[in-house]
Amino acid sequence: MTESTDSAETASDGGVEPTRRLESASAKVNEQFENIRRTRRRRAVGWVGFVVALGFITLQGLAATEFFDERTNFTWSHFAGRMGDYFPRTDVAGIPFLDIWTYWEFISANDLIYDAEIGGLLFQFPPNAGDLYAFFFQEMGVFAIFGEAGITLAMGLVGTILGFPLALLFSVLGSERVTPFPINFIFRGIMSFIRAIPAIIWALIFVALVGLGAAAATLAIALNTIGNLGRLFVEELEELEDGPIEAMRTTGANKPQVVFFGMLSQVKTSFIAWTLYIFEINVRSAVTVGVIGAGGLGAVVATQEARLVFENMMATLFVIFVLIFLVELFSQRLRARLRSNQEKKSIYQLIVGFPQRMADSIIR
């Protein structure tokens, strides 16, 4: 290699400076270096253009949402005063603390997490067979014992259970692997129509059917489950490997057998994982739908907000946070157990080991 080749230096963009061309290299090699340099420059210009366009679109969006409108006044002092209403304080030795007891008084007085009347049927010594029968089969207290939180959880769970079979059916019929085009688009269109309307609107529609209450909210969540879960199932079915399906066909299996044993058997784990994920979303939706008066914790939040009792509203929000956190924790652990390549931990190990895992993450 000649002296000019040895002195060639790499440019900041990874290419070779024009003045440092590899004179001993062939023209094709130098042309390749030049192509690499041009590609990286075009990519850099493209990224700059993307960032500028994104900034422009963001400004347009801020203007559309009246962030720059004269009517929009950021009253920080009013906001800070309102936050003080959410967090009651108490002084201990002259030091202000958050008054947790105020929250607890409201939570216990309004049966947000425990209904003492229902619980009295279950927790008594010695146990009364008649009360136990009433708890499980007359009062149906498995969810009711947890008060308003239990009602919210029941809305999300029952909505998921009711929506799952139709979500599965519509996803199979909406898959092009099962139903030929364009018939499969009929089922996809139905699911798209369901998803296009939020659960809170569906609840308002179902009020005409069952009246305002938790039943309307549960039906709305079930319908939304068909649209959302069905769409996820369709995507899973479309990504299936052809091998097992073709193998089933070569054995003479008919179409239902191919669907059940060749397709659904491949995606049953991911189906369960997606169903648990939708269950998490449905519990959040149950809170949202409850705001219109459909019961549960959402209805309590709306009532306290209308009464301008913000500390009670904040107490309810804390209960919602704990409920959602526990549902996510349960769902994540169950999904982790479905994955064979992950270490399996119990909920106890998860909670007790949390400080150690947090410390390990920080050290990394």
Measured from the Cβ of residue 99, the count of other Cβ atoms closer than 10 Å reads: 15
H-helix segments, the chain: 3-6, 27-64, 76-86, 100-109, 116-122, 129-133, 141-144, 147-174, 183-196, 199-210, 214-238, 242-250, 255-257, 265-289, 296-306, 310-338, 347-352, 354-363
Quick one: 302 and 157 in the same domain? yes
Does the residue 89 lie in any domain? no
Quick one: 54 and 142 in the same domain? no
Distance CA(253)–CA(265), nearest Å, equals 15
Model confidence over 202-249: pLDDT tens digits?
Answer: 999 999 999 888 999 999 999 999 999 999 999 988 888 888 788 878
Quick one: 185 and 288 in the same domain? yes
Distance CA(346)–CA(33), nearest Å, equals 55
Q: What is the pLDDT of residue 171?
A: 92
3-state SS, residue 97 = strand
Does the residue 1 lie in any domain? no
Lowest mean pLDDT among 87-101, 136-150, 174-188, 334-348: 334-348
Where in the sequence is the domain holding 60, given as residue range(s)?
27-65
Does the residue 214 lie in any domain? yes
Does the residue 165 lie in any domain? yes
Summarize the confidence of residues 180-198 as an average pLDDT: 91
Quick one: 198 and 329 in the same domain? yes
Quick one: 53 and 174 in the same domain? no
Quick one: 208 and 299 in the same domain? yes
- Residues in contact with 276: Cβ distance below 8 Å, sequence separation at least 6, in sequence order: 331, 334, 335
Last residue of some domain: 15, 37, 65?
A: 65
User: Considering the entire predicted model, what is its pTM?
Assistant: 0.78
Summarize the confidence of residues 112-117 as an average pLDDT: 90
Which CATH number covers residue 333?
1.10.3720.10
Classify residue 34 as exposed, middle or buried by CB count within 10 Å of its CB (0-12, 13-18, 19+). Answer: middle
Does the residue 286 lie in any domain? yes
How many domains is the chain built from? 2
Quick one: 168 and 251 in the same domain? yes
HSE at residue 316, side-chain half, CA atoms within 13 A, is 26
Quick one: 192 and 324 in the same domain? yes
Does the residue 229 lie in any domain? yes
Measured from the Cβ of residue 220, the count of other Cβ atoms closer than 10 Å reads: 28
Q: What is the pLDDT of residue 228?
A: 94
Lowest mean pLDDT among 51-55, 68-72, 111-115, 197-201: 68-72
Tokens read off for 179: 């139903």
Model confidence over 265-320: pLDDT tens digits?
Answer: 888 888 998 999 999 999 999 999 988 888 889 999 999 999 989 999 999 999 99
Distance CA(314)–CA(157), nearest Å, equals 25
Mean pLDDT estimate for the chain:
85
Quick one: 34 and 151 in the same domain? no
pLDDT at 14 over 90: no
Distance CA(356)–CA(342), nearest Å, equals 18
Q: What is the pLDDT of residue 153?
A: 94
Contact status, residue 263 vs residue 186, Cβ threshold 8 Å: no
User: Between the CA of residue 360 and those of 212, 333, 342, 356, what are the distances in Å?
Assistant: 50, 20, 17, 6
3-state SS, residue 294 = helix
Does the residue 96 lie in any domain? no
Most confidently predicted of 39-43, 80-84, 175-179: 39-43
pLDDT-based confidence at 361, cuts 50/70/90? low
pLDDT at 13 over 60: no
Distance CA(196)–CA(277), nearest Å, equals 19
User: CA gyration radius for the chain?
Assistant: 30
Quick one: 335 and 189 in the same domain? yes
- Burial code of 276-310, b = ≥16 C-beta within 10 A, e = fewer? bbbbbbbbbbbbbbbbbbbbbbbbbbbbbeeeeeb
pLDDT at 352 over 90: no
pLDDT at 95 over 90: no
Quick one: 49 and 154 in the same domain? no
Last residue of some domain: 12, 37, 65?
A: 65
Q: What is the pLDDT of residue 18?
A: 52
pLDDT at 157 over 90: yes
Does the residue 160 lie in any domain? yes
Contact status, residue 281 vs residue 289, Cβ threshold 8 Å: no
Q: What is the pLDDT of residue 4?
A: 46
pLDDT at 8 over 70: no
pLDDT at 21 over 50: yes
